[in-house]
Structure 1
C-alpha cells in the first residue's frame, strides 16, 4: 500500500495534457452533438486566484468532462477580461505601459489554472486587451453607431475625480467608486452611450426563454422596470410647461404638489422666476454631489426645496399646485418630474409631512380621515382595485379601474395626455476617461460631424504615452498629440479620446472563443450557428445588472442584424455561492488570517483534494465556510480510493453480484447529480460505493473502471493515473461514460413505518410491492404495536403501499 504522491502525479498529467493537447476542440467537427461550457472569465490581477475561483471553474470542468465521455464535442475555453483599472493605475504609478503588467498577470493566472487540472482548450484563449480581439469590439461598436444605438450626447454622469473618469451606476457603491472607494459626483458631460431602453421589451421577452435562476430574472425585470401608464402635460403659471408620467392617473385630483429634478432643464429654466433662488441653487449644488443610488434607493431624508413663487395648473380641474425640487427625482429618468398625491402614496405622504403640504383624499378608504400620526408613516398605502373615487368631480363614484380609463380619455380629448410605456432602464454610459480600454473608433470632424473609421482602419491601437494620467477632467489620450490628429481621404478632425468601459469586450467574448483567430469577421457564421448558445454558464450573481444585461443586449443586437444565430447567449445560467473564511465571513482584509490561497492548498494537499473538497462542501449555489478539517477529509478519501483501486489483487474479472445494485445506483445518481450540478450528493454516493467495495474486499474490474471514470471528472489527475495503472495506454478523457440498468437499481426491500393512531410504533423491512395482508400481519406481530392496541377495538387498518401502515384503534 503506497502513499499517493499527488505532487508527481499532478505534474505528470498536466504535462501530458499540454503536450498531447488533450482538450483541444475541433470546432468544425459537426458529427457529434455540441456542448459549450463557459466560466465568467476573470480579470488577471497580480494577486492571482483566490479560493472562490476554483469553485465555479471546477463545476464547469466536471460537467465538460462528463459530456465529453458521453460523446459530445465539448468546447470549454478560458480567457481574460484584461482591460481595467488595476493595470491603468499601475501605468500611472510607474510610467510603464499596462500591457506588460497585464501579460505577466495572465501568465500567472494561466499557470495557476493549469495547476488545478481544468480541461480548458488553451488554443482558444482570448484577452480583451489584445488588438486581435478588440478590433472586433470596435467593429461591433461601429455597427451600433451606424444603426443609431450608440450615441454621443450631453448628459449627467457619475464623475470620479480621483480616477479621472466617468463610471456607470453599477461601478458606484454608496457614493464611491467600486474600485478604490473614491468620491463620485454628478456632472454634465458629452458622453458615448448605448441606447439600452431600445432593447427593453426584447430583454423582458427573452427572460421567459432561458434557464436562469428566478432571482436573477427578477433582478433584471426590476432593473428594466417596465411601467405602463399615461404621460400628462402641465402648464406653468407665467409660461412654460412640463410633463409627468404616472401609472395612477385615477389619483390626479389628489395632487397637492409637484416635484422636479433639481438638475433638470425645467428647474434651470425657472431659476430667474423663483423668489428663493439662493436656497434653490444651494440645494441643486448639494444634489450634484450625490449619485443616482443616493438619490433614490438610499434616500431616507425626504429632502427638498420649494420653488417659491412658481406654480403649475392641474389640467383636470384648473387648480394651482405648488412646485418643489427633490433629489429623489432624476433628470435622466422619465420626464424628470413627478406628480405627488400624498394621501395615496407612502413617499409622497412622508414628503408632505416633512414639508407641511396639504393632502386631498380621492379614493374612498374606511373613512375620510387622513391619518398623519407617526404610526401612519409606516402604513400609508395606495387604495386600489375595488375602491371608488371621492373628491374627483364627475368621476366621483367610479371604481379605480373605471376612473383610470375615463380620466385618461378626458385628458386625451384635451390634448393633455398620451398613453405610454416607461422604463427604469437608462442609457448605458459607454465612455471612460481612461487609457487602458478600447479606443472608440470615431473622429470628431472639423465640420462638427462624426466619422466612423473604415473597417480597414481597425483595430485602432492604443498609442504609447509618456504620461498615462488624465489632467483636469480630460482623458489620458488627450496627451497623444500626434495620434489624435486625423487627416485622411479629405476628412480632417480629432480622434475620440475616451475609451470603452471594461464591460465592452465581455459583452461579446463568448462568440470569439468559437473562432478566436479569424481576421475576416468576429466569428464564422456557420460555426456560430452550430455552437451558440452557450449551454452552461457559471459565474457570480453580482453581474446581474451589469455584464449579464450588457451581453444580452449585444447578442440581441447582433441577432437582429442576422449576425448571431440565437436571441439569447446563455441557455443555462448558474451562480456559485461564495467561499467564506473559517469564521463564516467573506474572505478579505478585515480577517487576513482566514483568507485561503488555493496555491497553498495545491502545494500541501494537491489540486484534486482542493477540487473534491470545494465540490463536497455543500450545494454549489450556497455560500459555505472553509474548513481545514474538510480538506483533510477530502485528502483521506482520495488516499482510500488510491489504496484499493491501485492494487491488482483487489480487482477481479468475476462478478458475484454483491456490488451490482449499489454500482448501478451509483452510476445513476452520479449521472443525474452531475447534470443537476449537485456535486456534493454525487460525491456522497461515490463514497457509499467505495465503502461497500471495502466491505466486499473485491471489486469487479468493470465496476472499478466505471467509478474511476466518474471520479476522474472531479479528481482528474488521480483518475488518469489509476486508469493507467489499470492497464490503459490512452487518456481517460475520451472513454465512454458508464451505463446503468434501471431494473438493477431497484431495491428488493423497503423500510416502512407502522403507526397506531398516527404515532410511530415500529419500522418494517418489507418486500417491494408486498400485498396488504402480509404487511398487516407483520405489523400486528410487532411487540410495541400489540401493546398499543391491547384492550382496544381496531376501527380501521390503513396501508399506503411502500410507505406506511396506520392502525386506528379505540
Structure 2
C-alpha cells in the first residue's frame, strides 16, 4: 500500500488535467449540455474560505454532471473593474491595471490548487480590452434600441468614493463599498431603462421555480408593482395643481396635510422667496435618494405657507416640504394620512398635525389622541362621508370609480423600481462611448472607432477629488465624428454591474474576435443550468443580469428569456472571534493554549472568545485557505466544506471537523488499497451473491448509490458524504469479519465493486485522491473524470429483512429483524412475542397497536 501524500497526488493530477485539457467544453459534443456557473470573483488578491466553499459546491455539481454523461461548461473569469481596485492602487501608489493583473495571477494559482474542473481556455477579465470593446458595442446597440438615455437626475453621491451609486448600492443609507453616508446630488447621468421591463421581470419570477423563494420575494418587492389612483390637489392662492399618487384611495377622507420632495418644483418656488425653505432643502441634500435610506431618517419638514384643497371636501390642508419624500417615486408629492401611514404618523406627531382615523379595525376602536402608531391593516371606513361603513378593500375601488366619474383622477399603476443609473465618476471602469459636441450635442462614438480605451498615464491624477478622466489633459479631447469640430469624450465610466450583467454570455464564445457574441454558440449553452452565488446579490447583480439578458434578447443576441434556470445561494463561513482586552482582535496564530486556557501570544492575557461571526479580516477570525491546503490538501478542504453544513446554510468553522475530513480520506485510501491487495485483478460483482454477508454488503453498495445520486440532485452533499462514510464502515467490517484467509470469488467481487463505487461517488468531493486510486490502485482504463456514474441494481435494493422498532406506550422496548415481506399481522405477532417486550405486557391489557409496516409498532396498553 502506498502512503497517502496529498501534496504529491494533487500536484500530479492538477498537472495532468491542465496538460490534457481535461475539462474543456465542446458545444459540438452530442451529449446533453450542462452549464454550471459560480459567480466570478473580484480579484482582491487572495482567495478566502468563502471562495473555497463556493467553488467546492459548484465543482461538486459540475463533476457529478460530467460523470452522469453531460457535456459540462464550467468557466472562470474575473470581475475586475471597480472602485475598490482603484482605491487599493491609490493606497499602494500603483496603477490599477497592474494591481488588478497581479491579483488575478495570484488568485488563479490559488484556485488551480483546489483542483477545480474549469475550462480555463475561456478565462477573461472584464477589464481586458477585448471585453471592454464588446461591452461598448452592446452599449450602443441598446442605445439605438432606445434603452439608454442621459438625463438630469438626483442621485446617490458617495462622498468618499466620489461617485454615484444606484439605489440598490445604498445599504442602510451608506455606500455599499465605502460605508460613507450617502448624499443627494443633481447630475446628468446615463440610465438603462430597466423600468420598461418591470412587468416582464415581475412575471418572469413565476417561471423560476429553481430559485430560492427568498430571492424571488426580494425581487418581487424591489420591483414593487402597486395599483392606485392619481389625482391633483388645487393649491390655495397659487397657480397650477399638486398631482399625487396613492395606493390607499380608501383613506382619502383622512388627509390632514400634504408633503412634497425637496426637489419638487413647488418647493423650488417656495425656496426662491423664503431663505429658510432654501436652507432646509440644502440640508435634505445630505441624505441619499433610496427609499431604504429615507425610511430611517428622523422625519423632518418645513411648512411652505401653502395649503392644498381637498378634491372632495374642499378642506384646506397644509403643504410641507418633507425630507422623506422621493421626487423619483410617483409624482414627488404625497397625500398624508397620519392615522394610516407610519411615516405620516411620525411626521404628524413631530409637527403637531391633526390625526384623523378613517379606518377602524374590527373589535379594537382607534383613538387618534392615544394611538402610538399608524393602523395600516384592514377595517371599515368611518368619518368618510359617502364611503362610511364600506370595507376598506371595497372602498379602494369605490373611491377610484368616484374620482374617475368626477373627472378628477384615474386608476393607474406604479413601480418601486427606478431606471438603473450606470454613470460612475472614476477611472477604473469601462468608458461610456459618447462624445459631447457643442454643435451636435451628445453623439455616439462610431462602432468602427471602438473601443474607447482608458488612458495609461493616469497615476498622478488618482487620489485627488473628482473624476480623474475629467482632469486628464488630453484624453478627453477629440473631434466630433459628425461635424469634425473640437469636442470632448464622455468622462464617466460604466457601473461595474454592467460587466457582470453579460459575462455568462461571453463565456459561450470568448474567442470570437468579430462580435460580442456568437449567437449560435450562445443559444447552445444558454440558459445557465445552475448558478451559484450569494443571496446579497438578489436585487443587484441578479436583477440587473435578468434585465440585461432580456434587453440583449430584444436586439437579437440571445434567444432565451431568462439567463439562470436554477440558483443556489450558499451560506457564509463563520468562526468564533478571539479578542485580547489589551491588543484587540487576535488571529488564531496570535493566540496560544496553556493548561486548557486560550491566551494572547503577545501579553498572555486571557482571550475573550466572542460569538460565531462571518469570517472577516476586521475581526481577525479568518483561516487562510492556503495554510489549510498546504497542511491537509485541497481534497480535505473540499470535503470539510461540503460535509460540515448543507450549502444553503451558514457553515461554522471547526478545526476538529477538518481533522475528521482528513481521517476519512485516509480511511478511504487504506480500505481501497486493502481491497486491491486482498482481491487483485478481480472484476466487480454484477449480480447478487449467495453468501448472506456478501449479499448484505452489495445491498449496502446500491443503497448508497441510490442515496448519493438522489442527494446530489438535491445538493445535499453532507448527507451524500455521510452515506459513503457508512459504506466504508460496512466494507471495513466485512474485511475484518472475513479474516486473513483467502476471499471467496463472491466476496472478492463484491469488495471490488464497493471500491470502484466509493471512488466514483467521492470524485465530486475529493477529485485528486479518487483519480489517484482509480489509476494506481484499481488500475482502471481511462481517466476517472471520463467514467460513468454507477447505476443502481434494483435487485440489490430488495430487502430480505427489515428492522422494526417496537414501543410500549411510546417507549422503546425492542428492535426486531423481521422478513421484509411479512404482513402487518405477522409483524405484530412477532412484536408481542419478543422476550424484550413480554415483561412490559405482563398483567396489562393491549388496547390497540399502531403499526407502520416495516418501520415501527407501538403497543398501547393499560393496567
Task: Give SS of 1:394's match.
Answer: helix
Residue 713 of structure 1 corresponds to 764
Q: Tell me by how many angstroms 1:572 deviates.
A: 0.5
Q: Tell me by how many angstroms 1:19 deviates.
A: 0.9
Kept in 2: contact 1:659–1:693 (CA 8 A): yes
Cα deviation, 1:753-781, whole Å, max 9, x if unaligned, reads 33445555444332224223322221222
Question: Residue 524 in 1 paired to residue 518 in 2?
Answer: yes
Residue 4 of structure 1 corresponds to 4
- Cα distance in 2 between the residues matched to 1:582 and 1:75: 37
Q: Tell me by how many angstroms 1:740 deviates.
A: 1.1
Question: Residue 320 in 1 paired to residue 316 in 2?
Answer: yes
Cα deviation, 1:668-726, whole Å, max 9, x if unaligned, reads 11111112111111111111111111111165323312221221221111111111112
Residue number among 471, 479, 488 corresponding to 2:481 in the alignment: 488
Residue 498 of structure 1 corresponds to 492
Kept in 2: contact 1:3–1:639 (CA 8 A): no
Question: Residue 344 in 1 paired to residue 337 in 2?
Answer: no
Residue 219 of structure 1 corresponds to 218
Residue 670 of structure 1 corresponds to 708
- Cα distance in 1 between the residues matched to 2:766 and 2:361: 66
Residue number among 117, 126, 143 corresponding to 2:141 in the alignment: 143
- Cα distance in 1 between the residues matched to 2:434 and 2:843: 96
Question: Residue 301 in 1 paired to residue 301 in 2?
Answer: no
Task: Give SS of 1:481's match.
Answer: coil
Kept in 2: contact 1:435–1:468 (CA 8 A): no
Unaligned runs of 5+ in 1: none
Pair 1:6–1:141, CA change in 2 (3 A):
same
Greater displacement, 452-461 / 50-59: 452-461
- Cα distance in 2 between the residues matched to 1:315 and 1:717: 75
Kept in 2: contact 1:475–1:498 (CA 8 A): no
- Cα distance in 2 between the residues matched to 1:171 and 1:345: 26
Task: Give SS of 1:657's match.
Answer: helix
Residue number among 803, 806, 818 corresponding to 1:766 in the alignment: 818
Question: Residue 20 in 1 paired to residue 20 in 2?
Answer: yes
- Cα distance in 2 between the residues matched to 1:695 and 1:758: 33
Pair 1:694–1:158, CA change in 2 (3 A):
same
Report the RMSD for the aligned CA atoms in angstroms: 2.3
Residue number among 525, 530, 537 corresponding to 2:531 in the alignment: 537
- Cα distance in 2 between the residues matched to 1:690 and 1:298: 57
Kept in 2: contact 1:174–1:293 (CA 8 A): no
Kept in 2: contact 1:233–1:242 (CA 8 A): yes
Residue number among 109, 117, 142 corresponding to 1:111 in the alignment: 109
Task: Give SS of 1:145's match.
Answer: helix
Pair 1:743–1:320, CA change in 2 (3 A):
farther
Cα deviation, 1:591-614, whole Å, max 9, x if unaligned, reads 32x311101111111111111111
Task: Give SS of 1:166's match.
Answer: strand
Question: Residue 597 in 1 paired to residue 624 in 2?
Answer: yes
Kept in 2: contact 1:750–1:802 (CA 8 A): yes
Task: Give SS of 1:187's match.
Answer: strand
- Cα distance in 2 between the residues matched to 1:207 and 1:711: 35
Greater displacement, 244-253 / 702-711: 702-711
Question: Residue 73 in 1 paired to residue 71 in 2?
Answer: yes
TM-score, structure 2 length as denominator? 0.88
Kept in 2: contact 1:363–1:389 (CA 8 A): yes
Q: How does 1:234-313 map to 2 (within 5 A)?
A: 234-238=233-237, 239-272=239-272, 277-293=274-290, 296=293, 298-299=295-296, 301-307=298-304, 309-313=305-309
Kept in 2: contact 1:435–1:477 (CA 8 A): no
Q: How does 1:718-797 map to 2 (within 5 A)?
A: 718-725=769-776, 726-728=778-780, 730-757=782-809, 760-783=812-835, 785-797=837-849
Residue 640 of structure 2 corresponds to 613
Greater displacement, 279-288 / 240-249: 279-288
Kept in 2: contact 1:511–1:522 (CA 8 A): no
Q: How does 1:618-697 map to 2 (within 5 A)?
A: 618-647=645-674, 648-651=676-679, 653=682, 655=685, 656-697=694-735
Question: Residue 424 in 1 paired to residue 425 in 2?
Answer: no
- Cα distance in 2 between the residues matched to 1:711 and 1:657: 23
Q: Tell me by how many angstroms 1:401 deviates.
A: 3.8
Q: Tell me by how many angstroms 1:179 deviates.
A: 2.6
- Cα distance in 2 between the residues matched to 1:244 and 1:411: 13
- Cα distance in 2 between the residues matched to 1:370 and 1:156: 39
Greater displacement, 734-743 / 503-512: 734-743
- Cα distance in 2 between the residues matched to 1:244 and 1:294: 17
Pair 1:237–1:131, CA change in 2 (3 A):
same
Greater displacement, 309-318 / 154-163: 154-163
Task: Give SS of 1:535's match.
Answer: strand
Kept in 1: contact 2:440–2:483 (CA 8 A): no
- Cα distance in 1 between the residues matched to 2:775 and 2:365: 84
Q: Tell me by how many angstroms 1:226 deviates.
A: 1.0
Kept in 2: contact 1:350–1:377 (CA 8 A): no
Question: Residue 588 in 1 paired to residue 620 in 2?
Answer: no
Kept in 1: contact 2:435–2:444 (CA 8 A): yes
Residue 553 of structure 1 corresponds to 547
Pair 1:368–1:687, CA change in 2 (3 A):
closer
Residue 581 of structure 2 corresponds to none
Q: Tell me by how many angstroms 1:746 deviates.
A: 3.8
Q: Tell me by how many angstroms 1:354 deviates.
A: 2.1
Kept in 2: contact 1:644–1:650 (CA 8 A): no
Q: How does 1:223-234 map to 2 (within 5 A)?
A: 223-234=222-233
Q: Tell me by how many angstroms 1:509 deviates.
A: 0.4
Q: Tell me by how many angstroms 1:342 deviates.
A: 1.9
Cα deviation, 1:521-544, whole Å, max 9, x if unaligned, reads 222111122110001110111111
Structure of greater relative contact order (alpha carbons < 8 Å, 6+ residues apart): 1
Residue 59 of structure 2 corresponds to 61
Kept in 2: contact 1:230–1:247 (CA 8 A): yes
Kept in 2: contact 1:484–1:497 (CA 8 A): no
- Cα distance in 2 between the residues matched to 1:489 and 1:187: 32
TM-score, structure 1 length as denominator? 0.94
Question: Residue 176 in 1 paired to residue 204 in 2?
Answer: no
Q: Tell me by how many angstroms 1:272 deviates.
A: 4.1
Kept in 2: contact 1:343–1:370 (CA 8 A): no
Residue 98 of structure 1 corresponds to 96
Cα deviation, 1:100-135, whole Å, max 9, x if unaligned, reads 221111111110111100000000012111111111
Pair 1:397–1:658, CA change in 2 (3 A):
closer
- Cα distance in 1 between the residues matched to 2:85 and 2:57: 29
- Cα distance in 2 between the residues matched to 1:470 and 1:795: 84
